[in-house]
Chain A
Amino acid sequence: MSIFINKKTKVLTQGITGEQGAFHTRNSAAYNAEFGGARWVGGVTPGKGGDQFDAGPYKIPIFDSVRDAVEKTGADATMIFVPPPFAADAIMEAAEAGIKLIVCITEGIPAIDEVKVKAFMRSYPESRLVGPNCPGVITPEECKIGIMPGHIHKKGTIGIVSRSGTLTYEAVYQCGQRGLGQTSCIGIGGDPVPGTNFIDCLDAFNRDPETEAIIMVGEIGGTAEEEAAEFIKREVKKPVASFIAGQTAPPGKRMGHAGAIISGGKGTAKEKMEALRAAGISVAESPAALGEALVAAMQKKSVGVR
């Protein structure tokens, strides 16, 4: 099992004719095809409808609108590479067309646009947005929707949720060193108003019978980790390990991600780590100790390390 996507997912790319959109569509389609997994069914670029796109393993049609694409292909997921000024529009278009999983990779979307997207999406409760400003979602050996390097992943029992891209790869790598694969890895993104938050993913991993343990990678800024800690304490029986990036970050400075900022003395790594520890989560002090923290959490709850 897995969360959000699997080998039956039918994927579109919005902004498929841009350099990034084209590259990552081919990269993801090739990964999925290698495992006989999910199929890329089309792309959307307004004005280029009717053209064909060479996705690598096969050719796919380009449509003018998401609605057209859904009607013709039955797509239920989309990967968005539309530039920041038009990204909010692309997300809303996907939701309105009935897409169930909307993965927005675009970085640099104005915060107020993200607020409007969130408000808009309340009318489409069947649709889930992951991101923006995220690496995407992968269910190893079934379906990759995003910019992560597919081959570092392996099918397994660990669920990973993270605000950071490369730090997720680090977590996957440390799992791999211990022979642990993943059910799904969700990059929720580094922006202040993410479509999907830690709790959404923790809840899904908690319900997923294949997921035996969870890694949650947080960072400074906001209170999402504190809220997640409360949720874990209340609901999650599975072992959870965590790392919070930014213990050495100065206050008032945006650390690369729009959402990674300590403001008004709030959102520090220290507060987050304390909240997580208080909820019984195994917290790694150092990013190199995430794998160890995971194994420790699994042993404590007697979950088999295979």
Chain B
Amino acid sequence: MKIHEYQAKEVLKRFGVPVPRFGVAETPDEAYEIARQHGTPVVVVKAQVHAGGRGKGTVVGAPEKLGGVKVVKDVHQVRDIARAMLGNKLVTIQTGSDGVLIRKVLVEEGLDIARELYAAVTLDRARGLPVLMMSAEGGMDIEEVAHKHPEKILKEWIEPAFGLQGFQARRLGYKLGIDKGSVGKKFVPLIQGLVRAFLETDASMAEINPLVVLKNGDVLALDAKINFDENALFRQKAIAELRDPGEEDPTEIEAKKHDLSYITLDGNIGCLVNGAGLAMATMDIIQYAGGAPANFLDVGGGATRERVTAAFRIILRDPDVQAILVNIFGGIMKCDIIADGVVAAARELGLKVPLVVRLEGTNVEQGKKILRESGLNITEAKDMKDAAEKVVAAARGAVGAGVGA
């Protein structure tokens, strides 16, 4: 689960990580009022959207070229900048060409920055331990640094029962050339706060980029990003409340209500599959056969007729879908139950797009019989390859027919 920058800063603050003074505005007047109260010669206005790459992004419809982060030297301009951002869309490398709506801006005090560093905690899957990564190249695209200069990224692994020890934090501070007087007093508490925030909120990633050193020696989190482990939200009630449904795909939210794992993709072939691995493999084989999947959808192991119907409904919300492929390897889930669900859903929804079904596994013969006797126009496939080829051909046919009509 993702949250906004301002929320991430509030979380970090609770763990003793210093952040600049900021306020959140939903109107230009509120933005101005916050800026005025800061009383600093410079303020920064930042669009609050979940996507990254805001600084280099473009606000669509702004009177002048404007990114998602604007340093403002005259407090009276804050109102205009906020007006240009709020209610408009921001396009960044992560949003796609449609962009995302800016509904809130963060207004922050300007600071005298001496240095910009990078810090992040994430899970090192190979070691099975959280890892704290730091670099002197703050503000940069860290993936680029990791790729070109892996030696510039410093790492400390964290034993979850003990947290980050003082010596580990000090080691990083000295290596990064932090002023010796500041290491113990300012740097170590910030870094340990970041790690505690990661561990205690069940984060999957907590990043401060840049982490700034001010000319007076203070260290602060100038930007913050935290993602949380969805599997742990049951015990993180306060964190779960930070979810902003406005930033999420409404179809994915709907799918979650039915316990379906669904992700929207760009293609035109809807997929309904059991199991995450097989669902990914089904997308892959559609592409291999020359088509493009419209979605990832795992109905899970305990799919009922209701869930299959819900899955079809969700697939059909996407107007681009020209054909649907059902690929089920029945294990515990029986093919006849799935077939019943498919027939019921197709009848109930008056399915208009071609449907290709591949069934294998437990009770496969009964399942196939149900499909055949339904009187519905369902194309049977004998295996995955056959299924992919048939559905790609069907989608092409449908596209052709659409154009012809």
Contacts and interface: CB of A to CB of B under 8 A. Distances in A.
Interface of A: 23-24, 27, 84-85, 108-116, 118-119, 135, 147-149, 152, 162-170, 173, 190, 192-193, 217, 219-224, 227, 243, 245-250, 252-260, 263-265, 269, 285-289
A173 B125 contact: no
Nearest to B234: A85
A288 B261 contact: no
B277 A108 contact: no
Contacts of B304: none
B296 A169 contact: no
B261 A248 contact: no
15 contacts: A135-B331, A147-B332, A149-B362, A165-B277, A219-B277, A246-B280, A248-B280, A248-B286, A248-B293, A250-B265, A252-B94, A258-B230, A259-B125, A264-B142, A264-B143
Which of A110, A224, A257, A265 gathers most chain B CB within 10 Å?
Answer: A110
Contact of B284 (A85, A170, A248): A248
Interface centre among A168, A259, A286 (most CB of B within 10 A): A286
Interface stretch (B126-134, B172-180, B346-354): B126-134
B41 interface: no
Contacts of B388: 288
Contacts of B365: none
Contacts of B160: 112, 115-116, 119
Interface of B: 94, 123, 125-126, 128-130, 142-143, 146-147, 159-161, 199, 202, 204-205, 229-232, 234-235, 261, 263, 265, 273-288, 293, 296, 298, 301, 329-332, 360-362, 383-385, 388
Contacts of B276: 164, 190, 219, 255-257, 260
A115 B123 contact: yes
Secondary structure at chain B's binding surface: helix, strand, loop or mixed? mixed
B231 A149 contact: no
A193 B204 CA distance: 12
Contacts of A227: 126
Nearest to B142: A264
A165 B147 CA distance: 33
A268 to B, nearest CB: 12
Nearest to B198: A112
Contact of A115 (B130, B265, B284): B130
Contact of A255 (B128, B234, B296, B360): B296
B277 A163 contact: yes
Contacts of B331: 135, 147-149, 165-166, 169
Given A149-B332, A166-B275, A285-B288, A245 B161 contact: no
A264 B146 contact: yes
B279 A255 contact: yes
B1 to A, nearest CB: 10
Contacts of B288: 285-286
Nearest to A257: B276
Given A193-B123, A286-B385, A250 B263 contact: yes
A269 B263 CA distance: 18
Nearest to B200: A112
Contacts of B285: 286-288
Contacts of B146: 264
B230 to A, nearest CB: 8
B330 A245 contact: no
A111 B287 contact: no
Closest 9 CB pairs of A and B: A164-B277, A256-B276, A166-B275, A167-B277, A110-B232, A288-B385, A287-B281, A166-B278, A245-B280
Contact of A112 (B202, B280, B281, B362): B202
Contacts of A147: 301, 331-332
A182 to B, nearest CB: 15
Nearest to B298: A256
B287 A247 contact: yes
B277 A162 contact: yes
Nearest to B261: A256
A192 B125 contact: yes
A192 B123 contact: yes
Given A24-B332, A119-B159, A149-B362, 5 more contacts: A110-B235, A147-B332, A166-B275, A170-B278, A255-B280
